[in-house]
Amino acid sequence: MQIILKPIGVQVVVVFGASSGIGRITALEFAKRGAKVCVAARGEEGLKSLVAEIEASGGGAFYVVADAADFEQVQNVAEKTVERYGRLDTWIHSAAAFMFATVEQTEPAEYKRLFEVNLLGQIHGAKAALPHLKEKGGALIHLTSVEAWRGVPFQSAYVASKHGVHGFLQVLRVELKHEQIPVSVTEILPAAINTPIYDKGANKMPFKPRAVPPLYHPKVVADAIVFAAENPIDDLIAGGAGLGVVLAERFSPAVAGWFSEKIGFTAQKTDEASDGDYEGSLFEPVSGFDTIEGRFSDEQFSSDPYTYLKTNPKVTNTLLAAAGAVLGGVLLWRARKSEKLKNQKLKVDGLFKS
């Protein structure tokens, strides 16, 4: 079965988790390309400013306040979108909660809440969107993390939720293919991205957390999402450093675990103190962080060659063809040189024999 996705310029798109970070820049990128966009999140303040920014640039958008943990609210987002625009072509699920604490520090209620947002929320998004996408085909694009493959200390709840989404998407993708349903299911796995999540997330440590470097600008992920909305693809790592994480876990979990222990503790610490009792946005939205970038803009990479090549296959194919031509030329030159030397040797041998 071949899945044909519409050009973004004529798509109707939902971006769930759009008030800040990856979701916010993704909504802006789709609107800039002509898509009609519904943005959703818990924080109305961030959604209002986002829609205003889109409309000021000539785009079309509206917002719906919704909590990913509540299935009825998520369904309402899908229904409002279809009611307003007549259909739904792409559902992008970016909403996520974050908590920075050891396993012993994390309470059962905190695990429950984070799983409701990060795991059940993604399931809610897929189930709310699928009835509408099945009608004419479309795309489900879900954000997880390279931590869906290998986790780091202080993030047990977040890591477990991302592993769960990874497994859910594998099953969903196979079931849709088996039933010949023309809906692509893409998992976007960002590496460390400079978003406000490290300030919005709950924190029980005596210091403010940070991501293990290197960090990338959120647009690196948005570019991967834009690509997946037009090109059916199972998964896509956003940020080349993330490829190393996934490959290490695939080929040597012991080595990946060793790096997680040696780097994970020190690389996530900052010199900024915290009272160790910051609830953040785990249970309720927090204001002041409705931005695309976090506080590490001075060290982020604004682009990524790996993601660029993965999302620009024509460029990749051109480079491969050029590399093949160069290699072929070198091999031909060596073959001709070898043949020339062989002929010269035969001539010399003939002179001595005569």
Q: Residue 317 falls within a domain, yes or no?
A: no
Domain assignment present for residue 2? The answer is no
Residues 55 and 89 in one domain: yes
Q: Is 1 within the bounds of a domain?
A: no
List Cα–Cα distances, 96 to 42, 125, 295, in angstroms: 11, 12, 18
Please say if 158 is a catalytic residue: yes
pTM exceeding the 0.85 threshold for the entire prediction:
yes
Q: In this structure, is residue 296 part of a structural domain?
A: yes
Question: Mean pLDDT throughout 32-45?
Answer: 97
Residue of 190, 229, 235, 220 lying closest to 305 (CA atoms): 220
352 with 226, same domain?
no
pLDDT for res 92: 98
Residue 141: domain span: 8-311
Average pLDDT for residues 130-139, to the nearest whole number? 95
**Residues 149, 268: one domain?**
yes
Q: Concatenated DSSP letters for 9-36?
A: GG-EEEEES-SSHHHHHHHHHHHHTT-E
Vertex 291: Cα angle to 289 and 295 (nearest 5): 75
Give the pLDDT band of residue 207 (cuts 50, 70, 90).
Answer: very high
Co-location of 50 and 184 in the same domain: yes
Domain count, the chain: 2
Residue from 158, 198, 216, 278 carrying the catalytic annotation? 158
Do 154 and 276 belong to one domain? yes
Domain shared by 342 and 236, yes or no:
no
Segment 137-153 shows an average pLDDT of 96
Same domain, 207 and 345: no
Q: How long is the chain?
A: 354
